[in-house]
Structure 1
């Protein structure tokens, strides 16, 4: 009996950069792939068990963190990041056949895509109005509807090629040719991915108290153990004005002594800290670890302290045995 294929959710519809990221996951091509209209919907399919994992965007090299994802994984039923994927980003301007560039008055796309093509738009069709779309693919497919309220869409070359009802008005319209978006594959909590030596750990740390030095205490849990941070962003918790949590990516794996010690320190000062996973870096770049923060150094330090305590205990027992009885 053939094995049932896994089911993955992703920020859809089909043809998005997110689906391109998902297709980099081994086995995803033959899996059941469920497009979702937004990040929360994709993650909910994981939480309710209708999908094994979901692929969602978390960071862009131009625009920074994807706030919808940062907020969605910081709250609700806990999830774990088990993989990250990097996808180079390229955009085209698509329209219905017969539409010319000079005819375009309204353009739809995802907010991050618009931000990455803003200079091209201002240079070529400065009067065009932006119409927000849930994704680049959704904006492009919207052009196929008879009552579409906009004239063109910024989308991936793949979507434009796969739909004969679309024509490309301009290619490579991104303002940053080297733009990359980072995606994460998120599942329910389970076994941590194996330690590779080129790993990343993501946590969400609520600010325990709004006072001078509170953030420094959080950062010191990493710095004092030789753990480098590759990303830190503050996001409002929504509880009240001035209440924030920090979304943090740190270089290393929870199975490393230095990272485990840092996580324990975070939990000590902010018990609501949420561990979101340790997983392999997409760029496979190994992070050098100073000798004094290596696993061997932590092990030697623990043994040294244990030896001190054992010696003190032994001395105390001897002293008790040598004392005269009353």
Structure 2
């Protein structure tokens, strides 16, 4: 990667939550198109997406979902309120935490541990077992907890961080794989400016945000029926407050399939008729490349045949009864 755009002015720029050594950087390293390009470290999700909207970056990598803690609300809210953005890819990063200290430190020296509250909660069982007398010093981020040990701004003896921090900073590895859930994974999405979706691959995901109309019994069920009646599975359904009144929510949705699939296109049109606001975030290949399966009655040719049948009725042409 490169970080100084003045050195290579013709290369693309990617924003990510920095500095070097974060899980977000590990996600960006999975993007083939980003290799040997400019990587721009930023301080938060809002700054990363603003870089894209305002043209400082071509794309931004942001965390959007964690298998332990669920959706990343700051990312979901930013995507709901900042226009002109599209998700163009997704990437999965295993969440493996390490405990690091200053050079020469040992595990026996540790009594105060700096950590982001989320990271701390995901390592609490290990910490309680191995360092039962420790205290926690909350940090703004995983990387900040580690860098504070080196620049003298932290009183902690050790820090919880992503493994990548050891590739960039002279820190002592005190323990590795300290997370309580070895299967923990964070899902990241690469976000660019509004573009046409890539062609369907058969292993795709469509992301969108929809608001409910006026509050009434069964409103959420009506929203979900737009997908259920077309054989579309939802892999994510998360509610976020709109903020203009109590009880008003928008729903973040990940649906299996691509907007060019007849069933998905039909569902989105149904959702558009039902919802006062629908934000299409993109259709893109799934990170796991798992092929989307659906009942045969929801195949594209079934929708096409039904549409042709209706057109025949409207034209007055003779139509064979099924």
Matched, 1:198 2:203: yes
Do 1:203 and 1:275's aligned partners in 2 also have CA atoms closer than 8 Å?
A: yes
SS of 2:264's equivalent in the other structure is helix
Stretches of structure 1 that go unaligned for 5 or more consecutive residues are 314-326
User: How far apart are the structure 2 equivalents of 1:208 and 1:133?
Assistant: 40
Matched, 1:35 2:38: no
- Matched with 2:193 is 188
- Matched with 2:165 is 159
User: How far apart are the structure 2 equivalents of 1:302 and 1:161?
Assistant: 57
CA separation of 1:110/1:193 partners in 2, compared to 1, >3 Å: closer, same or farther?
A: farther
Q: CA offsets, 1:280-320, max 9 Å, x none? A: 0011100112221111000000011111111179xxxxxxx
- Matched with 2:56 is 50
- Matched with 2:292 is 287
Most deviating of 97-106 and 131-140: 97-106
User: How far apart are the structure 2 equivalents of 1:121 and 1:236?
Assistant: 34
Matched, 1:214 2:214: no
Do 1:140 and 1:160's aligned partners in 2 also have CA atoms closer than 8 Å?
A: no
Matched, 1:265 2:270: yes
Task: Give the number of equivalent residue pairs.
Answer: 312
User: How far apart are the structure 2 equivalents of 1:106 and 1:206?
Assistant: 45
Question: How far off is 1:129 after superposition?
Answer: 3.5
Matched, 1:6 2:30: no
- Matched with 1:122 is 128
User: How far apart are the structure 1 equivalents of 2:212 and 2:124?
Assistant: 35
Given candidates 220, 236, 253, the residue that maps to 1:231 is 236
Q: What are the residue-to-residue correspondences of 1:68-83 with 2, within 5 Å?
A: 68-83=74-89
Given candidates 247, 252, 255, the residue that maps to 1:247 is 252
- Matched with 1:96 is 102
User: How far apart are the structure 2 equivalents of 1:12 and 1:28?
Assistant: 16
Question: How far off is 1:242 after superposition?
Answer: 1.5
Question: How far off is 1:17 after superposition?
Answer: 0.9
SS of 1:27's equivalent in the other structure is helix
CA separation of 1:43/1:218 partners in 2, compared to 1, >3 Å: closer, same or farther?
A: same
Q: CA offsets, 1:10-65, max 9 Å, x none? A: 11111111111101111312010001111111111111100000001111111111
CA separation of 1:111/1:79 partners in 2, compared to 1, >3 Å: closer, same or farther?
A: farther
Q: Normalising by structure 1, what TM-score?
A: 0.90
Most deviating of 148-157 and 32-41: 148-157
SS of 1:149's equivalent in the other structure is coil
Matched, 1:144 2:150: yes
SS of 2:32's equivalent in the other structure is coil
Question: How far off is 1:252 after superposition?
Answer: 0.3
Do 1:16 and 1:135's aligned partners in 2 also have CA atoms closer than 8 Å?
A: no
Stretches of structure 2 that go unaligned for 5 or more consecutive residues are 1-7
Most deviating of 109-118 and 201-210: 109-118
User: How far apart are the structure 1 equivalents of 2:28 and 2:167?
Assistant: 19
User: How far apart are the structure 1 equivalents of 2:114 and 2:46?
Assistant: 21
Q: Normalising by structure 2, what TM-score?
A: 0.92
User: How far apart are the structure 2 equivalents of 1:127 and 1:234?
Assistant: 38
- Matched with 1:16 is 22
CA separation of 1:48/1:3 partners in 2, compared to 1, >3 Å: closer, same or farther?
A: closer
Question: How far off is 1:102 after superposition?
Answer: 4.3
Q: What RMSD in Å do the two structures reach over aligned CA positions?
A: 1.9
